[in-house]
Amino acid sequence: MKLNRLLIVSSLAGAMSLGLGIGITIGAQLGSSMFSDVPSGTYYDSAVGELATAGIFKTNSEGRFRPGDPVNRAEMAVIIKRLRDELNGIDITQGATSSRRSSSSKSSSSSSSSNSSSSSSSVTSIAPNGMFRFTSKAYTADEDDGTVSVSIVRTNSNKGNVTVEYELIAGTATADSDYQIISGTLNFADKETSKTVDVKILQDTTMESNETFTMKLSNPTNNSGLGDPSEATITLRDDDGGSTSSVGGTTSSIPAAGMIQFAAVEYSQYESKTTATITLERVGGSQGAVAVTYSMADGTATTNNYDRVSGSLTLNSGETEKTFTVNLYNNTDIGGNKTVKLTLAAPTGGAILGTSSATLIIVDDETVTTFGSGSFRMSKNEYEVNESDGKAVVTVQRVGGSAGTVSVKYRTYAGSATTTKDFADTNGTLTFRAGETAKTVTIPLVKDTEFDQGETLSFDLSEPSTGTSLGSPASSNVVIN
């Protein structure tokens, strides 16, 4: 089995903070401040910093961590020995600040840790009697489910009797109309680490889009604190006249009037063509007449490059597609490609919005001389998502030309992440109309309670239509944290 450095560092940091009787190093630096190749704000930033501060990981001669490199057996032996020494109180930091030392210096070490913590605002202190957080930052329930169960856990310590308060905050969902308003205090006894709050969902007969409200934790007591996330969003899916449809690879509840969206997230057109056609789709339903407004704003383009207009489009019952045009101005300037921001808003007739923003690229024909059907590629080699997000969104680009209607097939493949357990198998065909140059696909993720950070799947393109080809990269890794 080949393990990479991220999996090792995440597992060791989790073991140190949860299962081996010692806390996270208070005042440890972030990994991004110590290693040039650790991006700031990544899920492993603090874990790398904590273990490097403790001396369990060392910087190499180039000052890099090499997060994607595999770990061999010799390196694992050194890492585990350093961890053992750290747990036994043997100083392995070689000058790095640490809150843990031998038993004879625990008192002075604790004082040093406190000072370090107070001087570093980038590191969250761990309360001695535990940290309260939700197990997920997002929950979803159907309107007819009756209840939605929200889980709160106490991590990092389970000592003593502690309490934390919770309350519900209205969003687009209305208290005592869509859900029963509740608040209260959760009492955690000594050694107790989890509680569940059941929120009653109120069913109505109104056809509406998805609605949300929030549960919030506050006022932890007796040397306990709040972890992340301390707020969770609950989404209620309507069951009155709506439909459950798969759009862009994900399943969501859509009213019978449908969801209106841009057919692509990016369009392009030569300035010499004088007009660009923008297509809107109505998906998931087409019952009744609906309307939506569109507008545009300067990106790098100005009104010297296009006509900035706005308007409204009406789709009659049964209509699923509509277009509007953008007037372009041809010139002889060698100024490079220009961009226009496109926006949809204010749907009527019971419809909801899907992809409501897109970009139009005005191609400078003084610098680009070919305009074929193009090739397909992924927008980047790797995507990084959190399991609690519920989905991963990847972007497929059409480059080198956008003439004509073309297509490409896509499919997900299991890596260390597995289908049904970690993600839903996703496959299909993306069709690009003339002028469409980027589309997104959504991969549903499955939330579980296992510590399986850093699992991967691949998203592959194949079988481009005649006249097109696959570019690079034609495959992307998706890392699920």
The 10s digit of each residue's pLDDT in 319-338 is 888 999 999 988 777 667 88
pLDDT of residue 86: 61
Q: What is the pLDDT of residue 26?
A: 42
Token duo for residue 161: 């009797």
Who's near 209: CB < 8 A, 6+ residues apart? 238, 255, 352
pLDDT higher than 50, residue 22: no
Tokens of 149: 């169960």
Residues 6 or more apart from 88 whose CB is under 8 A from it? Answer: none
Q: Would the pLDDT of 2 be above 70?
A: no
Instruction: Give the rounded percent of residues in the chain with a pLDDT score beyond 70.
Output: 72
Higher pLDDT, 332 or 353: 353
Query: Is 151 or 28 the better-scoring residue by pLDDT?
Result: 151
pLDDT of residue 371: 60
Mean pLDDT of 109-118: 36
pLDDT at res. 367:
56
The pLDDT-based confidence of 415 (bands split at 50, 70, 90) is: confident
Tens of pLDDT, residues 77-86: 777 777 776 6
Q: What's residue 216's pLDDT?
A: 94
Beta-bridge partner residues of 168: 215
Q: Is the pLDDT of residue 24 over 50?
A: no
Q: Quick: pLDDT tens for 127-166.
A: 888 889 887 777 877 777 788 888 898 887 888 999 999 9
For residues 90 and 243, what is the distance between their CA atoms, to the nearest angstrom?
A: 62
Cβ-Cβ contacts under 8 Å for 346 (sequence gap 6 or more): 292, 293
State residue 449's pLDDT score: 60
What pLDDT score does 184 carry? Answer: 94
